[in-house]
Amino acid sequence: MNPLLTQKCKPLEGGQPMGPSEIEAHLRQSDGWTLKDGAIEKTYTFRNYHETMAFVNALAWIAHAEDHHPDLLVKYSSCQVRFNTHSVGGISINDFICAAKADALLG
């Protein structure tokens, strides 16, 4: 099991973003996630709109529970998910916690 799944997001106001080496280390452990334009992102694909929206709704529930909200680009059979942490001006552990929880939705 991914150890990030057992963690909870914490408020990080005033904190520092992760450095490049720390981001890369976490990306190596995060299947399919990439760094792009100051965020980590991944595109999930589905068979149809119903499955896409089921994923989006489940992810919205997780984002609410963690108080850490992604940017989503929703299409008929895919959803692009982007996480970054505005309060630190970059990438934080909260992004990787939520990325792991998003991945866990699909087993």
φ, ψ dihedrals at 52, nearest 5°: -60, -45
> What does pTM read for this prediction?
0.95
d(CA 34, CA 12): 22
CA distance to 11, 48, 96, 100, per residue, from 31 (Å): 25, 23, 11, 9
Q: What confidence tens digit (pLDDT) does each residue in 4-31 have?
A: 999 999 999 989 999 999 999 999 999 9
- Under CATH, to which class is 41-107 assigned? alpha beta
Contact predicate 94/10, CB 8 Å:
yes
**Residue ranges of the domains in the chain?**
41-107
Q: What confidence tens digit (pLDDT) does each residue in 34-48 have?
A: 999 999 999 999 999
